[in-house]
Structure 1
Amino acid sequence: MLLVTGATGFVGQDLQQELCTRGLAFRATSRTSRQGYSPVGDIDGATDWSAALSGIEIVIHLAATNQNVVTGSGEDRELLRTVNIEGTINLAGQAAASGVRRFIFLSTIKVNGERSVKGHPFTPDDVPAPQTDYAASKLEAEKRLIELSRSSGMEVVIIRPPLVYGRGVGGSFRALAKLVKSGIPLPLASISNRRSMVYVENLSDLVLTAALHPAAAGQVLLAGDVDAVSTPELVRHLAAAIGCPARLLPCPPLALRTLAAVAGKKELVSRLTEWLEVDITPTRSLLDWTPPFDMGQALKRCF
């Protein structure tokens, strides 16, 4: 049986659907009492997971606290440490003690950094370069999970996804989709970049492949769709899926970044103008895995 934490979240809900489709037995947890879920309360270094872990062979740990790039708000550093580090290691320690065989940890590509160099996509072997408190908390959790795996023998698999999109997603992806749908001309035609993203159903498929494939044990796996896209290409894909024209105007990226800095949206615009490309070739080769949906197919399922 599998245990899924963070099961009420965006990725967790999709993963539950995939588990049901495959007929795999699982238990889902939530922080509050909900029908069909095992309540565990707040996640920290003292959470009691004993009831949730009973009879579990594989843990898929999705629960985390994050930061919002659109609003600029975010959790404080102490809460990130409490949930993402202490909460993760507490769960993993109890899992190992209860005989769990494999622990899947959903991390983030931000562990590699906020942007990649043109022509040099991120790989699993890159020296980590987190630039936010959120990414740093995920990296620390990764390190401590690897240490725990060595001392306990429990297999650990780390998955680092880039931006996850799909029906009902929020954040920067939703904000861009709303702008495209509005018909407002967007000054993005001059951007020449490549950004990797991952459709939520592709990510769920990878998570379950990593949970069940023998070769995944002890690996850091980078997630993503087959192809990275430029921002203008993304706008065109979105417009086609929504059923509206793609209205793009030329504007030098430097001018966009300058305006964004003045408006307090520097981080949001950097996601539209800079590179963040992920090499998923090692993941595909190791697990004999191919994302089930390309971006065109995925976006049609979103709108």
Structure 2
Amino acid sequence: MSCVLVTGANGLVGRALCRALAAHGHDVTALVRRGDVGVGGVRKWCHGEADFMGLDQAWPRGFAPDCVVHLAARVHVINDTAADPFAAFRATNVEGALRVARAAREHGARRMVFVSSVKAAAEFDDGVPLAESMPAAPDDAYGLSKLLAEETLWQYGEQSGLEIVIVRPPLVYGPEVGANFLQMMNALWRRLPLPLGAVDAQRSLVYVENLADALTHCAVDPRAANACFYVRDDQDPSVAGLLRALGRHLDRPARLLPVPVSLLRAAGVLTGRGAQMDRLTRSLRVDDSRIRETLGWTGPYTLDEGLAATARWYRSTH
């Protein structure tokens, strides 16, 4: 049994990870910013300072985790209102992560699992699924901050002896999902016609329970030390295929119009949403062979099972 500290434990992934770790018999402490946010079945530690300032001084006496899984982050947003988006991302995603690493190491941690993002590497796959060995070329402030955090943590790990494990998930979905995935389900539920029937771009996804299982392995498996991993579900659906599968599970058959991709991209440019339309109409797949070969990891759920569980949750709320 290991003692694991989870930051960002009240988020979609954090809740699933705490459940997974506890189910495997590990001693779990959830680090959250607000005391009114509960994480069932695990110990809770509330630290409300921005970007983990003062974390070392606030560290509970005698608390010595074996590993910290760092999920807390300033997340990607479509229309960022920050005066300097990169400075805001850097303060939380780079400097905050380093404060967590230093405090954890000072109090006995041997390993840090940093949950990065596929956006630290690229927005598109250019015809070949992304592998860990490929050069990273982030396209926005969020992705750049995640890549800089990875590099900063690698350097700190080399200096301090803290084992660093980087995990780069693609789009995460599951019950209680929000953002674009939720908007997609809302559109299907309302039976809106969607002009995406001709979009055959493929996207890697990861069901939240699969990601939680992979992170559990990364937290405790000695073979994960100082490695970077992509993680994904067993299939990479096309955009149209994903909508059809979700519509089937929602009992709301997708109404897809076969609008040519060239017209969609032109409309994106005209409406000021060219970048969003590019992301929607181009492939972004990841190669997860390293985590499968190194750790022997296989996701416990298929893509279809993950979509079915997400649809059941959605239907229960409507």
Same fold, TM exceeding 0.5? yes
What residue number does 1:41 align with?
Answer: 48
Is it true that 1:221 corresponds to 2:223 in the alignment? no
Q: After alignment, is 83-92 or 29-38 more displaced?
A: 29-38
CA distance in 2, matches of 1:238, 1:25: 36
What residue number does 1:79 align with?
Answer: 88
Please point out which of 107, 116, 119 is paired with 1:110: 119
Q: TM-score, normalised by structure 1?
A: 0.94
What residue number does 1:210 align with?
Answer: 218
Shift of 1:74: 5.5
CA distance in 1, matches of 2:50, 2:301: 33
Shift of 1:77: 2.1
What residue number does 2:30 align with?
Answer: 28
What residue number does 1:193 align with?
Answer: 201
1:258 alignment partner, SS class: helix
CA RMSD in angstroms, aligned pairs only: 1.6
Change (3 A) 1:107 1:161: same
Shift of 1:282: 1.4
Aligned pairs for 1:120-199 within 5 A: 120-199=128-207
Runs of 4+ in 1 over 4 A off after TM superposition: none
Shift of 1:246: 2.1
2:51 alignment partner, SS class: coil
What residue number does 2:16 align with?
Answer: 14
- Which residue identity does 2:289 align to in structure 1? T
1:144-163 CA-to-partner distances (Å, cap 9, x unmatched) read 11111111111110000011
1:114 alignment partner, SS class: coil
Shift of 1:45: 6.3
Shift of 1:13: 1.2
Q: TM-score, normalised by structure 2?
A: 0.90
Listed as ranges, the gaps of 5+ residues in structure 1 are none
CA distance in 1, matches of 2:183, 2:133: 32
1:174-222 CA-to-partner distances (Å, cap 9, x unmatched) read 1111112211221111112111011111100000011111110000000
Q: How many residues align?
A: 300
Aligned pairs for 1:267-278 within 5 A: 267-278=275-286
Is it true that 1:295 corresponds to 2:303 in the alignment? yes
CA distance in 1, matches of 2:279, 2:189: 19
Shift of 1:32: 2.1
CA distance in 1, matches of 2:28, 2:240: 40
2:112 alignment partner, SS class: strand
Is it true that 1:66 corresponds to 2:75 in the alignment? yes
